[in-house]
Structures are given as structure tokens and as C-alpha cells.
Structure 1
Amino acid sequence: MSKETFAFTSSTLRSLRLQREWLEWEERRRAASRQSASRRYQPVARSLLSLPKPTKRPQYCRDPAVHNALYTGDLARIRSIFKDEATANLTVETLSEELVWSPEQGLWVLTPQKKHTSPLRITAARGYQDCVKHLLLQGAEVDAVVGGKAALHDSCANHRAECSRLLLSYSANPNILSEEGLAPLHLCTTQETLPCAHLLLEYGALVNQNTRDRRVSPLHVAAKHGLDDHVQLYLCYGAKIDHRNREGETALNTACASADRPEEAGRYYRVVKRLLESGADVWVAGRKNHTPLHNACSNCHFRIVELLLQQGAEVNVSNCAGYTPVDCALQAVEDYLDGEPERVIALLLNHGAAPINPKMLKFCALSPLTMEIILNSFDRILSCDYWFGSVSPEVWQEHQLFYDSAIGLVNQPRPLQHLARCAVRKQLGKRCHHGIAQLQLPSSLQDYLYLPFEGYLK
């Protein structure tokens, strides 16, 4: 057993308290002696008891039995162990094996890592409300940051609303920062944490408080995780919708960039819609000069792309690498083959996207529908060399009709009907998406102008 590990019996605790009191008295006596020596000709006017108390050294507990009582919420044992302020503020030390890179061995190795926490953090994170209350009544410091976080950080991150309410009622600071510079509101990252976010704001949490390093606001966090209810709550409390983080991104940039999972598309669409309805700027460019439209196109998110274009997003703006939104969409085609990337490309072209560089066709070689849309936007096919080698034999065999038709039209004149379509679309430009419907043409010709999918080129 370590010399800093206690056997938690009544006699041991009584001995510990007596020893601590004697050490504090001895340190005060020595401090008084030093002060007397430095002021030899001045009488000591103050009592030794009035001298400042020395800083308390943290006391560590590594006893597995105590750990087990805390992690299981055993209230009876916790009451028998934690009977005063000293024990309530112990630092609980655990040891776990973690993978750490070893430069000497050139590989990842399991290395023992010490982690520190507190009884209050452990019980608050697990929702043991009665245990939390007992520790607070015994003098546990409600805002103590042990192991990088305070108890309120843990209760909010683990959506323990009742424990959060209890801590706040005992004057926990709703804006306390962890060692990483995060406030409790920044840790409300799931739908289940909404009640905790409500509580924090009711008790005075700053809705526009930024993280220390990246200057991320709670609104950014909610947008990143697709939390529409959190976004609405923060906006009601006055969240700044135009606030930029250290990389220059607004919450709208963040939401569009984070919508990278098709199964979560609906959540992020609602967040983007709410931000736009609240006045978010679709033109703001963040990291690498990516606009929200660049980010949405990189995720091939059709509904968000459509929403941004309806709000006036610029379809031909370039990022720092010279890529337009349609270029970003093309580079993401292979990652979202099941997400109908052809619809995103068609939407961008119908909103006036500039002619696509033939060199970009290699990115959509595995999506015949996307390839068809793009090739039909040209008035002629000059070469297939840019994308021919990128098509796998399996895909070529499955869509042989389309690929054979594309190869057969290289350097061949397109039909007059197709040339007329190109001329009309060029004339309409950015108005294609709604201008075609206003033309006095049969519905079949209107459909033809929208570049429908036919499975082959002619």
C-alpha cells in the first residue's frame, strides 16, 4: 500500500486529522519565528492563529474499495468514508493502460497512465444525486478543478440534469473553465443535454462565452453536432449569429461542414434553416476561404445546397485553392455515390455554375449519372482521356451503354436539338432553375432543358 493511501477506519481518520492539525500549527510557529527574526526591533502584534494558513497539499486516494464505492454510488459506504472536508476533497487517482507512441521502439505500446479526479466529479458524472449532496454537505469544493475539469463539467457532459441543478444550487460557477478552456455549456453536445443547457443559462451561463484557444461559442458547438433545439435556445438567449471562431467560421459554416453523414442529413438541414431564418450570412468564408456552399457541396448535401442557393449563395466563388463549389462537389462524388451527387451537380449547373474543367471529370468517373449531367452541359465532347482510365471494368460493364455512347461522341457533332439546349441554358445562365419553367414550351421540352437522365448520350 502506498504511503499516501489510507485504510479508511475511524482511528486512521482521527489520526490523520490530528497529524494535519499538528503540522499546520508547526508551520505557523516556524512562520512566526521567521517573521520575528526579520522584524527584530518590532514587537509581534498578531497572534499566531491570525497568520495565513499554509497551502493544503492534495491528498491522494488509490484505494480500490473507495473507488468502487464512488463509481457504484454506494451511499452507505460513502457516508461512512467521507465524513469531513478533508476526505470530501480527496484527489482520487486511478491507473489505466493507454496506447502511447514510443519513438525508441517505433511502435505504439501500452503505458500506465495516472488520471486524477474527485469524489464529487465521479458521482456527478454518474447521476448519483444523493452522493453528490452528501459530499457537498461535508464540505466538498463545488468548483474544484481536479484532473482538468470540475464536477459541473461532468454532470453536463453526461446529461445529468438533477446533479447539475444540485451543483448550481450550491453556487457552482456556470461559466467555470476546464484546463482545456471549456465551459460547461460547451460540453452540451447531445440532444439529451438540452435540460442541462437550460439550467446553465437560467443560472447565469454566458451564451456567447468562447473556448480559450479556438474561440468557439456554444452556438458553434450546437451547430457542429446538429442540435436544432440547442441552436434555438441559444438564439433566444441572444447568441451572436455572426460570431467567428479563430478560423473565421460562423455557426453556419460549421453546420454545413459537419453534415457529412447522410443518415443525419435531416438534423443539419433544420439547423441550417434556422440559422438562415435568423439572419446568418451565406457569403461568409471561413477556413481556407470555404463558404457554407463549399462545405455543403463537399458533403454532397442536396437539401442544404438548395437552401443556400435559394438564399443567394454565390455559385462561382473560389476558395484559396481555386476550387468552386461545383469542384468541391465533384471531388466528393466517390465518397457519396449513394447520396445522389448528380442532383447536386445538376442543381449547381442550373444556378449558373461555370463550365466544368474536363480535368475534374476523373472524380465522377464511377458515377455515370453525374458524368451524363456534365457531358450534356458541353456543346461537344473533345476527349475522354481525362476520365477514361478512372472507370473500373466492373462499372464499365454495368453501364456499358452510357460509356460506349460517350466514347462514340468524341470529336463528333452533337444533334441540333442538343446545341439548341446549350444555347438556351447559356442565355438563361443563373436563371435556369426558375427561368425554364417560364418559357412558353411544352413540358417535355422544359424537362429536356433541365438535363434529364437518360442513361446514354446522343
Structure 2
Amino acid sequence: MSKETFTFTSSTLRSLRLQQEMLEWEDRRRAASRQSVSRRYQPSLGSLSALPKPARRPQYCRDPAVHNALYTGDLPRVRSIFKDESTANLIVETLSEELVWSAEMGLWVLTPQKKHTSPLCITAARGYQDCVKHLLLQGAEVDAVVGGKAAIHESCANHRAECTRLLLSYSANPNLLSEDGLAPLHLCTTQESLPCAQLLLEYGALVNQNTRDHRASPLHVAAKHGLDDHTKLYLCYGAKVAHRNREGETALNTACANADRPEEAGRYYRVVKRLLEGGADVRIAGRKNHTPLHNACSNCHIRIVELLLQHGAQVNVRNCAGYTPVDCALQAVEDYLEGQPERLIATLLDHGAASINPKMLKFCALSPQAMEVVLNSYDRIPPCDSWVDSVPLEVWQEHQVFYDSAVYLVNQPRRLQHLARCAVRKQLGPQCHQGIAQLKLPSSLQDYLHLPLEGYLQ
């Protein structure tokens, strides 16, 4: 038998008994409801011919053996069970226990939850192409939305390209919305789903169709999940890079906001690069007035930050809380100690970031390297009361030379060499990153102007 057949343990048997009791109770409730309706409305024989033809009454299947045949893709069993239109359109009903919060009892309780789906949805989600074809030939409704989704949604969400192709060839609607307001393209959220996305577009899917609630386009979805190939595909089909979702964010905002995992940095960088090449505007602010640069700095993504700056991102624009991108970078230091936040801060300063408020120094407490870059951006060391107590003892002891030098220089004049560095950087302003290289200075002095790490202050 397949690995997906059911194991009948004692707990399973108890669950089945509970399920059977619930189903019997539901049958009795439905029968009573039908009988009540029948008593209230009994048309005369003469009026029967004028009544509209009733819609097909849904039939529910609760047989575990039938469920097992569908979930395991047992084609001979499926052929023997689903022989006509009525059986092909059965509603598969299951009961499962889920934790639900009970306000009356004040605790989480296991509550039976009824779930509905269709044979076509089950087989399409699992890639059982032969079973899908058999059900369609028997009259299964290709666009039936059961349990919130149609078969085309399930095949795309589970990247079953061959089933997607088969459904589309049987006239499945490539723009059909699920009960959650998602089109099939919105469910292509993994790299493996790229063939499904290509098929949907070939069969007429709308590349700029929005989700019902959040007004997110397929391009937003691809940007959120860092899908470079999907992004390229949608742009080739005319996706609008300037489209903004309900929160006012473009796909570029979305990509920068979701690039928060260092191990996935590369693919989000490629998506951002692709969007910028497609004409995305780096200045558009989204939720909480965050620009793409704010989001990239909050995720300590140095390569994306450099890319945005190359395309004209404004380094001193403020979000709704009054924070600049460098403020966001400082607030992210503790979360990305391994991401070299000092490089990011130095890059922003080289592109003209305004002088950093000394009150923000406390966010560098765990990174003496970031602290050194910020302190070297001043012509004199500000009072250390705002940050010195935030440095853990073990960090202080490990980097005692640096911290002792910082405390010693509070409100003391810095060396003339450092003051000259501050004067040159101030003169160059936002062009530090380019202007320093054009100065006729030895390479050692050019490096010094870029605020290199030395491990102490002087």
C-alpha cells in the first residue's frame, strides 16, 4: 500500500467513532431542516410545472476508503468509484480536531472542524494526472470552488505543472478567484511553480490581476518570495512595476522589506536588480512611509543598499516616525551582528547621510565596530552617558582598548589628522564615495578618509 494509507491506532479508532457520531448528528439535523421546509411550502400540482428546475443537491462523501483512494492516487479504485457526473462532483467531507480558544472555559480545547474539498482538488494537489483526467472525463466541474479553492488553485499552489496544463486544456479559468480572493498566479510562490506560472500566462492569466483584499499583484507575490525568474516572466508579460498595493507599496518596497534572511540575500538582490532595470522608482514610500532604502537598511542588506543608492535613493528622507535610513540601520545592528553593519553605516555616511544623533549610539552597544564608524564621523566624541551603560561587561572586556579610548576622548580635541578628515568629508558631502578616489592622495590616505576600522580612537 502507499505510504499515505491510514494507520488505525487506538487513538485513530476513537477519532473515527467521534467523527461518526458528529456525522450522524449532522445527518439528523439536515433531515429535520428539510422536513421543516417541506411542511412550510407544499406547492399544488398545478404550480409544479412553473417551478424552476432545482439545482443539483450536493452529495457528501465521508467514506475513509474513498478518501484513501483519492489521497493515494489509486487509479483503479478511482475508476471504480467515480463513474458519472454525480460521483465526480461529490463533496469530500472530513472531520479533524483543531485547537480552538474557548472564552467560556478560558483555555484551548480540541474542537471537531469540518472541512470540504473535491476529488478534483485532492488529485490535482497531489499531481495524480491520470486521476484528474478520469474525473474530468466523467464530468467533474473544472472551476468548482469547494472548501475555498478550485482544482487550478491547488495544482498551482503545489507546483503540479502537468495537472495545471491538463486543467487549463479542459477550460479551467486562469483568473478564477478563490474564496480568499487569490488568483492561481498569486499561489505561485516557489521556484518550482515557475512552469505553472508560464502555463497560466499562456492561457490568458492577467499578469496585473490583484488579490481582493490587499490589491497585491503577481509581481508583488514574486517580490515577496524572492523569485527572480517569476519577476522576469511577469515583466516580460507587461507587469506594472509602479503598481501599489492597498498599503501603498510597490513590488520594490516588498522585495526590500522581505530580504530579512542573510541566507536568502542573493535571490532578493537579483529581484531588486531586475525591478530597477524594469523602471522601478526607488523614491516611492510604502507602509509607514518606508522607502525601499529604509527597508533594506532595516534588514542590513549592504548589496541592496548600494544598488538603491546607485539608482538615486535619497539617504536622508524620513519615515513617519522621523527615522532616516541610517537610523534604521543602527536599530538593526543588534539583529545583524554577523552582517557587518559597520559597512552599511559607512556606506550611508559616504553617500551624505546627515550627522547621527548621539542618542542613537545605544543601538551600537553590541558592536564596537559600528560604534567606531559612528564616533569617527564626529569631529569630537559626544558624552557617552547615553550608551556606555548599554555595553555588556563581556563585550567591554573583549574590546577594552577601544572603549577606554572612546571614554578618554569625550569632549576632548581629536588629532589634527582626524579633523582634516572630517573637513574633507564635509566638503565632499554626498559625493564622498566617488570624490575620494579622485583626490590626488596616496592610497593610504584615501583609505583613511573612508573611516576604516582601527580598533581604537585617537
TM-score (norm 2): 0.90
Deviation digits for residues 397-420 of structure 1, max 9, x if unmatched?
Answer: 111111111111112111011111
Q: Which consecutive unaligned segments of at least 5 residues does structure 2 have?
A: 1-19, 28-37
1:393 is aligned to 2:393:
yes
CA distance in 2, matches of 1:382, 1:5: 73
Q: Which amino acid aligns with 1:322?
A: G
The residue number in structure 1 matching 2:350 is: 350
Contact 1:5 1:63 in 2 (8 A): no
- Looking at structure 1, the residues matched to 343 and 46 of structure 2 have their Cα atoms a distance apart, in angstroms, of 81
Q: One-letter code of the match for 1:150?
A: A
Whether the 8 Å CA contact 1:92–1:116 is kept in 2: the answer is yes
Deviation of 1:56 (Å) = 2.4
| Alignment-mate amino acid for residue 47 of structure 2 | Q
Task: For residue 112 of structure 1, give the secondary structure of its aligned residue in structure 2.
Answer: strand
The equivalent residue for 1:312 is: 312
1:141 match? 141
The DSSP-based 3-state class of the residue aligned with 1:110 is: strand
| Matches of 1:429 and 1:32, distance apart in 2 | 91
1:31 to 1:150, Cα distance in 2 relative to 1, 3 A: farther
> Is the deviation greater in 56-65 or in 302-311?
56-65
Identity %, equivalent residues: 82
AA partner of residue 216 (structure 1): A
Measured against aligned partners, the alpha-carbon deviations of 1:121-153 in whole angstroms (never above 9, x if no partner) come to: 000000000000111111111000000000000
Q: Which amino acid aligns with 1:320?
A: C
| Contact 2:333–2:367 (CA under 8 A) maintained in structure 1 | yes
**Post-superposition offset of 1:262:** 0.3
Matches within 5 A, 1:90-169: 90-169=90-169
For 2:46 and 2:416, locate their aligned partners in 1 and report how far apart those are by CA, in whole Å. Answer: 103
Asked if the contact 1:4/1:60 (under 8 Å) is kept, the reply is no
CA distance in 2 between partners of 1:71 and 1:372 (Å): 60
Unaligned runs of 5+ residues in structure 1 are: 7-25, 37-47
1:371 equivalenced with 2:371 (yes/no) = yes
Q: Which residue pairs with 1:15 in the alignment?
A: none
| Distance across 2 between alignment mates of 1:248 and 1:229 | 24
Q: Equivalent residue for 2:30?
A: none
**Shift of residue 394, structure 1, vs aligned partner:** 1.3
Determine the structure 1 residue equivalent to 2:177.
177
Cα distance, 1:336 vs structure 2: 0.5
User: Contact 1:121/1:154 (CA < 8 Å) preserved in 2?
Assistant: yes
Could you tell me which residue of structure 2 aligns to residue 208 of structure 1? 208
Task: Tell whether the 8 Å contact from 1:4 to 1:61 is kept in structure 2 after alignment.
Answer: no
- The answer to whether the 8 A contact 2:358-2:382 is kept is no
Shift of 1:396: 1.1
Q: Does 1:285 align with 2:297?
A: no
| Structure 1, 394-403 or 371-380: larger mean CA deviation | 394-403
Deviation at 1:32, TM superposition (A): 7.1
| Cα deviation, residue 199, structure 1 | 0.3
Contact preservation (8 Å) 1:5, 1:61: no
Aligned-partner Cα distance in 1 for 2:161–2:52: 39
Deviation larger for 56-65 or 235-244? 56-65
SS of structure 1 residue aligned to 2:95: strand
Cross-structure match for 1:189 = 189
The amino acid of 1:260's aligned partner reads D
Checking the alignment, whether the CA contact within 8 Å between 2:71 and 2:122 is kept in structure 1 is yes
2:47 equivalent in structure 1: 35
Partners of 1:105 and 1:409 in 2: how far apart?
A: 62
Give, in whole Å, the separation in 2 of the partners of 1:105 and 1:345.
52
Q: 1:173 offset after TM fit, Å?
A: 0.3
Distance in 1, Cα, partners of 2:45 & 2:266: 72
Letter in 2 for 1:146: V
Q: Which moved more, 1:205-214 or 1:402-411?
A: 402-411
In structure 2, the partner of 1:430 is 430
Q: CA deviation at 1:97?
A: 2.1
Aligned residues: 427
2:444 is paired with a residue whose SS is helix
Aligned 1:30-109 pairs, distance under 5 A: 33=45, 35=47, 48=49, 52-109=52-109
Alpha-carbon distance in 1 for matches of 2:344, 2:119 = 53
